[in-house]
Amino acid sequence: MTDSFSSTDDLRSATKLRHAKSVCFAGPIELELGGRLPEVTCAYETWGTLDDDGSNAVLVCHAISGDSHAARHDADDDLGWWEDLIGPGKAIDTDRFFVVCPNVLGGCRGTTGPGEIDPTTDPPRPYGAEFPRITVADMVDVQRRLADHLGIQSWRAVVGGSLGGHQAMTWVTRHPKSVRLCVVIASSPRLTSQALGFDVIARNAIQTDPHFFDGQYYDQPHRPDTGLAIARMLGHITYLSSEAMEDKFDPDRHDPRQIASSFEQRFSVGSYLAHQGEKFTTRFDANSYVTLSMAMDLFDLGANRLQLMETFDESDADFLIVSFSSDWLFTPRQSQDIVAALAMLHKRVTYAEITSTAGHDAFLVNQDIQQFAPIIEARLGKTDSSKPVLSPVEELILSQIPPGASVLDLGCGDGSLLASLRDRNHCDLVGVEVAQASIVKAASRGLDVIDYDLNHGLPAFTDKQFDFVILSATLQAVSNVAELFDEMLRVGKLVIVSFPNFAYRTLREAYVERGRSPRAPGQFNYSWYDTPNRRFPSIADVLDLCRDKEIQVRKELYFDSATQKEISPDNDPNLNAETAILVISK
């Protein structure tokens, strides 16, 4: 390890990083954009023990201002930045897994970065702004060398949020057979133009700081603290939702906290930001901020789905993608683009958009972590293997599906139907749901579930991608019915639609006798004014639609729950059947 006159010595010796180890890789290290480093030191922390077969290693990738200290090592240790996710018995269980968290290349928390001495200089001086331009791929390359050093040939999982998500995705694109599970949280295939704009401004603030000295400020009496603080304050605003900022600052808007600062103090948000900015300058290096933000800005998996698909094509990893509803910097829409590319490639992917008010920061907030932690836990093997209980209608649906068929279940609920198919050894099974609790439940069964609004069609899937598409007990909730039918018939070779019959005998009787809105029995026992259902078709209505759209009805099954018997198609099912199951195709 090279001697360093830089501030990273101070940073590294900070108590929090006392458990960090480091290893030095001899160079020259070739970088993606053509530069090179004479050698690279990698600082990292580990938890747990590597299995004899090396199958339980989990790589945790931190975000732009993070470090190797993802979690504490013992009860006396400082808490880590992902304490809520990593530890004994937690979702990333350090009793079962060997967890590794390195500081990224270009950082300032132990791994080689702009603040380290360039060993080729005489007299020795830090790289400063001469540090070569690095990419996320270069970060991953250092991690690969670390894996080799630790005797790890493949990762059970690579997990990261924000820039950490970029690293996770880069792992599966550059080492497509070396990752079993890829977890990408609050991330994106590339930054939005808006996010890029903010980064450009932030970097300019740093680079035009009077104390920047082209990045060679380490020996100077002053650092480019103003520029770095401006950059951090800007980042801070983008990581919070507007709502979260109101909650934080509105009550005492005009009461600035009393802190000693050269920054504007007129508003409480001003003093808060100033405090955040100044705090940051004591623990982070300006050159690192420039280096890492540029790596994020250069990160680009593709501008459209085809390019994304090319990127992920060779990987045989399972994927878990998580976004947050109020994250306006790395939007849910961007995560959906990743999911769509993966789904169309028939990769195993689960996607959840977590409802949260915390903005981009949610991936670090306990309340929000508890929402996606169970899904990670399930993907890491802790699944609910309880036997699903099916209704008679569901059993009937199952009976229509031959062994081994691939199935897409739209509105899959807690995944009972898909779990039953899996118990029968089907493989290519995907569920679609919007209810967060159901998504978690289905994922906890080890199923792939995608958080998806059916009213937008099924753009994530390709033509005839599945043997069967199922729409069970969901039709009544759909607004864009005609479009969904078209889409289901595009995506599935066969489609099974099951729905309650709103011309069922008892409903007609009620309507005619009582002159009131038909009120479906059982689970659909709502009133006319509070039913969440949108559509109320009879069997005849749906058959009419099929006829109008030239859809073939290959099979009709009808069920009456009053008698618990099937109703023959000849026995006026539109009157006598409570539930219909139609197998259709185009």
CA neighbor of 553 nearest in space, from 563, 538, 564, 542: 542
361 marked as binding residue: yes
Query: What is the Cα–Cα distance from 160 to 319, expressed in whole angstroms?
Result: 12
Question: Per CB under 8 A, which of residues 201..240 are in contact with its own copies?
Answer: 201, 203-205, 207-210, 226, 230, 233-234, 236-237, 240
Binding residue for its own copies (CB under 8 A) from 312, 536, 558, 559? 536
22/261 with CB nearer its own copies: 261
Residue 318 φ/ψ, nearest 5 degrees = -85, 155
Contacts with its own copies, 312-341, as mask; x by CB under 8 A:
----------------x--x----------
Phi, psi dihedrals of residue 58, rounded to the nearest 5°: -120, 125
The answer to whether 232 is annotated as binding is yes
Closer by beta carbon to its own copies, 64 or else 172: 64
Each as own residue / partner, the long-range contacts of residues 453-459 (CB below 8 Å, 24 or more positions apart, any chain) are 454/410, 454/411, 454/478, 454/480, 454/484, 455/479, 455/480, 455/483, 455/484, 456/480, 457/483, 457/484, 457/486, 457/487, 458/410, 458/484, 458/487, 458/488, 458/490, 458/491, 459/340
539 binds its own copies (CB under 8 A): yes
Which is closer to its own copies, CB of 29 or CB of 269? Answer: 269
Question: Catalytic one among 19, 166, 175, 360?
Answer: 360
Pairing verdict, β 318-324 and 181-185:
parallel
Residue from 6, 7, 65, 162 carrying the catalytic annotation: 162
Stretch that binds its own copies, among 194-202, 350-358, 368-376, 427-435 (CB under 8 A): 194-202
Q: Cα–Cα distance between 325 and 280 in angstroms, integer?
A: 27
**Is 426 annotated as catalytic?**
no
Give yes or no for residue 34 binding its own copies (CB under 8 A): no
Tokens of 403: 């062994």
The answer to whether residue 360 is catalytic is yes
Give me the catalytic one of 67, 118, 225, 327: 327
For residues 322 and 332, what is the distance between their CA atoms, to the nearest angstrom?
Answer: 8
CB of 361 to its own copies, least distance (A): 13
Closer residue to its own copies, CB minimum distance, 248 or 555? 248
Among the listed residues 353, 341, 549, 312, the one whose alpha carbon sits nearest the alpha carbon of residue 459: 341
Calpha distance 251→184 (Å, rounded): 35
* Cα distances (Å, whole numbers) of residue 552 to 401, 489, 536, 544, 582: 17, 10, 22, 11, 10
Residue 309 interacting with its own copies (CB under 8 A): no
Binding residue for its own copies, selected from 50, 477, 540, 553, defined by CB under 8 A: 540
Q: Annotated binding site for substrate, which residues?
A: 232, 361
Give catalytic residues, as residue numbers: 162, 327, 360
- The residues that touch its own copies, with contacts defined as CB under 8 A, are 192-194, 196-198, 200-201, 203-205, 207-210, 226, 230, 233-234, 236-237, 240, 242, 245-246, 248-250, 253, 263-264, 266-267, 269-270, 273-274, 294, 297-298, 300, 303, 328, 331, 481-482, 502-503, 508, 511-512, 514-517, 528-530, 534-541, 544-545, 574-575
